[in-house]
Amino acid sequence: MEKKLIQSAKILSLLFMPLYAPLWVFFGLFFFSYLRMLPWGYKLFIIGMVYFFAVFVPTIGINLFRKFKKWTHLELSHREHRHMPYIVALLSYATCLVIMTKMNTAMFFRGIVMAALISQIICVTLNAWWKVSTHMVGMGGLVGALNAFSILFFYNPVWPFCGLLLLSGALGTSRIILRQHSLAQVLVGFAIGYVCSMVFILISWM
């Protein structure tokens, strides 16, 4: 029973890697809001760009750095080894934001990337003495984005909201089961993602 629980926790952690959080927000916008009416070519271009800078580049950079240092995935998760992965993600997110700005994309598109960027900056700052859960930062960002867009687009998100909260609880529990984080680190991570998403998406609309 314990082995199955640990295996389930590993699978859940793998499925909801923090780097994918901005991508899930864009998927939600393009398929479950009025933005689904945008041309397919434009939607695929934005999703492809976000995937490249938010997922592909950081993943390649982090794996190359891990192999250069000859660290295992477990060693990379140690607090003192997490600065370089954070920096790689920060540079990639910042590049994506600059490109979006030069392309004059919608402000709330940039707000999503800005929220992810600021969340990473907070995490890398805290990492100097405390290991916050980036998985929960990502989940908090999804919940915050859902709340922000429900305010902006005037719709009731009660069922998706409940689903994301249940998923957040399951993911947070998984991180604790795997002994990667304490309850406090899980809760603080969720709060960082939630507040950053709410604040920067709403501000970007103004």
What pLDDT score does 35 carry? 86
pLDDT 10s digits, 4-43? 788 888 888 888 888 899 999 999 889 888 888 999 999 9
Which of 74, 197, 187 lies closest to 133 in space, CA to CA? 187
Q: What is the tally of structural domains in the chain?
A: 1
Whether residue 56 has pLDDT greater than 90: yes
Residue scoring higher pLDDT (157 or 165): 165
Q: Running DSSP on this structure, what letter comes out for residue 181?
A: -
Mean model confidence pLDDT for the chain: 87
| Residue 7 confidence (pLDDT) | 85
Q: Examine the pLDDT at 126 and tell me if it is beyond 70.
A: yes
What is the rounded CA–CA span in Å between residue 146 and residue 165?
A: 11
pTM score, whole prediction: 0.88
Query: For tokens 């995490």, what's the residue?
Result: 123
Q: Considering only CA atoms, which of 16, 6, 27 is closest in space to residue 112?
A: 27
Q: Which residue has the tokens 């984005």?
A: 145
What is the separation of C-alpha 69 from the centre of its chain, rounded to a whole number of angstroms?
A: 25
Q: What is the C-alpha end-to-end distance of the chain, expressed in Å?
A: 51
CB burial readout 151-166, b (16+ within 10 A) else e: eeeeeebeebeeebee
The range of the structural domain enclosing residue 153 comes to 2-205
Q: E strand or H helix at 128, and its extent?
A: none
What was the pLDDT predicted at 75?
58
